């Protein structure tokens, strides 16, 4: 399981897919369709679905790497999937993206209790063996969840730097991510089928 944080305004908030950069989701994953607007929409961050003309860098980097490693989405989904800790978009009134990590722990402890519990159920349901935590926030939530909830199997937590351009020293994310996957012996799962 690749474990992400929450939707970006130009990614999952537009497509419903984690790290859901519109062109990546449409052109590589092959997903299209109508997307409804939320009941309350912030003018500076409209939900235009697949008509959104903004690129979501984190999603473009993530799915671009998976495309280069796997060739086809089917090769990725044979062994892997992506799950977001909080599948809701949070924005300030001015349209700035808010993540759970932007709040002090006491302010969101109730949210953590709910999301950790659901996350644990997903781990059990899909019999996850390895969590690839994308970013430090997700690594922390994965560790906390496994500490608080017993699991029917041993689950390994691996850290992968977040593909966000906001992250420090992140200009060569595909190379860094590939090396991380190599180090943890995960590239074997993404061998492209011979033509």
In order, the DSSP letters of the chain are -EEE----TTTHHHHSSTT--HHIIIIII------PPPSS--TTS---GGG-----HHHHHHHHHHHHHHSSHHHHHTT--EEESS-S-EE-TT--EE-GGGS-HHHHHHHHHHHHHHHHHHHHHTT--EEEEESHHHHHHHHHHHHHS--SS--EEEEE----TTSTT-TTHHHHHHHHHHHTT-GGGGPPPP-
Our CA angle for 130, 134, 139, nearest 5°, is 70
Give the pLDDT confidence score for residue 159 in this predicted structure.
97
- Please determine, looking at this structure, whether the domain spanning 2-10+56-190 carries the CATH number 3.40.50.11740: no
pTM of the prediction? 0.92
Residue 194: predicted pLDDT: 58
Q: What is the pLDDT of residue 78?
A: 96
**pLDDT at 22 (0 to 100):** 97
Q: So what's the pLDDT on residue 40?
A: 87
Count of Cβ atoms closer than 10 Å to residue 119 Cβ: 26
pLDDT in tens, the chain (195 residues): 999 999 888 999 999 999 999 999 999 999 999 999 999 899 899 999 999 999 999 999 999 999 999 999 999 999 999 999 999 888 888 888 888 878 888 889 999 999 999 999 999 999 999 999 999 999 999 999 999 998 778 999 999 999 998 887 788 999 999 999 999 999 999 977 655
What count of other Cβ atoms lies within 10 Å of the Cβ of residue 191? 11
């Amino acid at each position: 399981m690749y474990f992400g944080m929450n939707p970006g305004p130009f990614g999952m908030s537009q497509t419903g897919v984690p790290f859901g950069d519109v062109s990546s989701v449409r052109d590589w994953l092959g997903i299209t369709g109508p997307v409804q607007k939320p009941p309350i929409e912030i003018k500076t961050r409209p939900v235009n679905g697949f008509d959104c003309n903004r690129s979501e860098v984190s999603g473009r980097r993530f799915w671009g790497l998976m495309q280069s490693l796997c060739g086809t989405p089917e090769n990725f989904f044979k062994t892997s999937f992506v799950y977001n800790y909080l599948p809701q978009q949070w924005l300030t009134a001015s349209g700035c993206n808010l993540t759970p990590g932007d709040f002090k722990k006491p302010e969101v402890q109730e949210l953590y209790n709910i999301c950790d519990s659901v996350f644990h159920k997903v781990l059990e349901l899909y019999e996850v063996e390895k969590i690839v935590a994308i970013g430090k926030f997700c690594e922390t939530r994965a560790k906390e969840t496994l500490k608080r909830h017993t699991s029917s199997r041993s689950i390994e937590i691996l850290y992968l730097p977040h593909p966000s351009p906001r992250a420090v020293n992140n200009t060569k994310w595909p190379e860094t991510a590939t090396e991380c996957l190599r180090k943890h012996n995960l590239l074997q799962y993404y061998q492209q089928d011979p033509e």
